[in-house]
Amino acid sequence: MHEKISIIGAGSWGTALAIHLSKNFRQISLWVYEPELCDAMTRNRENTWFLPEHPLPENIHPTTSVQSAVKGQTLILLVVPTHVIRQTLARIKPFIEKDCLFISASKGIENDTLFTSHQIIQDVLNANTPTATISGPTFAREVAEGVPSALLASSENLETARQVQEFFTTDKMKVFANTDLVGVEIGGALKNVIAIATGICDGLGLGFNTRAALITRGLVEISRIGTALGAKPETFYGLTGLGDLVLTCTGDLSRNRQLGIQLGKGQSLKEITENMKMVAEGVLTVKSAHSLIKKFNVQASIMEETYRVLYENKSPVQALKDLMKVEISTEFAGIKGLE
């Protein structure tokens, strides 16, 4: 058993990871943004807002105090939406211990800077702040239930990645390690964009052929952008690329896919998001993907058309028609290392 860890963020994923890690840590501080939810979790030992029917083990201690959650901790797991990482770090910065290891479980790309989560952490705190990412094909509910799953622990330092691997490994969770931190974070973020596109096609009532084509070509687009950023092409054919993409594009528990389905059925983005309790990271990541495509002059027609549907009011039917007109080349054109 490890001694203690602080988890920042008590949404469905943060809560599920707290339950999972309760097997490996004696004490877990779980920072909860909403005071009302924190009170309910402390009283009822359950996160009824975001992960109902999954009791909290006794070694999980919810708190709304960032000082209480962070002070004295040398291990912090950050599980907040990417667009609030910067402001959350600013809140906890005064209480962070020297040489604290930050592990991110967020999957997104900051709109203005186009930074992934570890880059935001190092930008706010210090360029030398030890950072890692945990990612892979996992739904929060199934992790909380102990369904056999697999994750990828990544850090630019292999020793750090192996340390994180050890923290998260249980008899129900197989954890692998790698050092392609940028590739892991890009794969985890951009798969949400393709999941929205796949959901749109499902909402339009199209078949399995269309879904398979979108997933496969979506993976090529993710690889093009990732390798342009310096990622290794093989990363996108592992857990955080192909694995996470397949899960998010086909699983009914995927918020991004469900949002896409509603778009395909004719609802507007505003109507859908107003009724969503939890964030679909892909909505903002679509903007970042659009910016990366322009910055690196990458061909990524699926992501481009998804952007137009979400932010330019283009009809899904017309977007699909235009996708089918895109000029084609060789299968892996544009992927550095595979061209």
Calculate the alpha carbon distances from 162 to 157, 165, 167, 241, 280 in Å: 9, 5, 9, 20, 30
DSSP letters spanning 90-147: HHHGGGPPTTPEEEE------TTT---HHHHHHHHS-TT--EEEEESS--HHHHHHT-
Query: Which residue is it, tokens 């469905």?
Result: 12
Amino acid at 288: S
245, two tokens: 């993409």
- The residue annotated as part of the active site, out of 71, 93, 107, 191, is 191
Annotated active-site residue 191? The verdict is yes
CA torsion sign for 99, 104, 110, 113 is positive
Burial class (CB in 10 A: 0-12, 13-18, 19+), 294: exposed
Catalytic residues: 191
